[in-house]
Homo-oligomer: A and B are copies of this chain.
């Protein structure tokens, strides 16, 4: 399928659905939005306006993007003739099962069916389909129009060809798809994030740092580091000439002890209120839109800088 002719159906207009809409439009696809929200046209227009400056490969004109946009609230009609469907409804198994049941009846057999689910697996989501061989999880990271990663997960009933097509599709729209070799609850990135959050909550609860100080620690150390090299790569370099072997053998014995010493905070009412009180101080002065623009300016700038380094090295 050539870029010009492809039609992507985006189902759901929450934060993730809106990001996909902007990204697919920015990449030259026709986008058919399937949403039951009565204000879907307004919400999508506002999102495109907000995202357009930060779309790869560069800032886009919202009017150009909107020219390739259609709306069709009926799911069966929406998926007719689609090349790709990206589903983004709330994270409820029954809701997704029922939806994919209807999609399976109406979509052409060659349509690639993708779900943004962050916790459910294809076999479960596709339980009410006659054939879920074309259903693949493509879990993006917020915001999907900026962050490159898509975690790709097939089920036992998914055809390997569909997984390969999902990878090719996401690459064609500038994403970095990583296929999980085994299904696992919450996939990879959110599990890593959860591990870091647990310790973050512990450190704020213990009064070692405030929520804002913790954020500053991360952006000024491991965030910068992990934007450029992953954790294993970083530790390989931390070991100097001896690499990861030296790093693990000099610190390895202490690693397990360190893991045992990590916090196991409760997420109780008191903890929640402490975090929210500190969050209000940290972010209360800015609107959601202002904060999103500030984040996306930075993320886009970082991606641009890294792409320049890659190009210079090539």
Chain A contact residues, CB within 8 Å of chain B:
14-15, 141-142, 147-149, 151, 176, 178, 180-182, 184-186, 188-189, 191-200, 203, 206-238, 240-241, 243-245, 248, 252, 255-256, 258-259, 261-262, 264, 266-267, 272, 275-276, 278-279, 282-283, 288, 291-292, 294-295, 297-299, 301-306, 308-309, 313
Using Cβ atoms and an 8 Å threshold, which residues of chain B touch A306? Answer: 298, 301-302
Most buried by B among A222, A279, A291: A222
When C-beta atoms are compared, the residue in chain B nearest to A186 turns out to be B258
Using Cβ atoms and an 8 Å threshold, which residues of chain B touch A243? Answer: 279, 283, 288
Candidates B191, B196, B219, B235; contact of A227 at CB < 8 Å:
B219
When C-beta atoms are compared, the residue in chain B nearest to A235 turns out to be B197
Using Cβ atoms and an 8 Å threshold, which residues of chain B touch A200? Answer: 192, 231-232
Q: Are A207 and B227 in contact (CB under 8 A)?
A: no
Using Cβ atoms and an 8 Å threshold, which residues of chain B touch A218? Answer: 189, 192, 226, 230-231
The number of times this chain is found in the oligomer is 2
Q: Are B229 and A176 in contact (CB under 8 A)?
A: no
When C-beta atoms are compared, the residue in chain B nearest to A241 turns out to be B288
Candidates B237, B276, B278; contact of A248 at CB < 8 Å:
B276
Task: Please list 22 pairs of residues, one from A and one from B, whose beta carbons are closer than 8 Å in the complex, sorted by A's number.
Answer: A15-B240, A141-B225, A184-B203, A188-B214, A189-B218, A193-B231, A194-B199, A195-B195, A216-B230, A217-B230, A223-B227, A225-B299, A229-B295, A232-B279, A232-B282, A237-B295, A243-B288, A244-B283, A252-B272, A298-B306, A298-B309, A301-B306
Given A212-B230, A255-B267: 16 more A-B contacts, CB < 8 Å: A178-B216, A180-B208, A181-B209, A192-B203, A193-B231, A194-B259, A195-B198, A215-B230, A223-B230, A226-B227, A232-B279, A244-B275, A252-B272, A297-B313, A301-B306, A305-B305
- Complexed CA–CA distance, A291 and B236 (Å): 10
**Nearest Cβ on chain B to A202's Cβ, whole angstroms:** 8
Q: Are B147 and A221 in contact (CB under 8 A)?
A: yes
When C-beta atoms are compared, the residue in chain B nearest to A294 turns out to be B313
- Complexed CA–CA distance, A147 and B238 (Å): 13
Complex A-B, nearest 9 residue pairs according to Cβ-Cβ distance, in ascending order: A215-B230, A223-B226, A228-B298, A227-B227, A305-B305, A149-B221, A301-B305, A149-B220, A195-B199
Q: Are B302 and A227 in contact (CB under 8 A)?
A: yes
Using Cβ atoms and an 8 Å threshold, which residues of chain B touch A258? Answer: 186, 191, 194
Using Cβ atoms and an 8 Å threshold, which residues of chain B touch A299? Answer: 224-225, 228
- Complexed CA–CA distance, A7 and B294 (Å): 39
- Complexed CA–CA distance, A155 and B279 (Å): 29
Q: Are B227 and A215 in contact (CB under 8 A)?
A: no
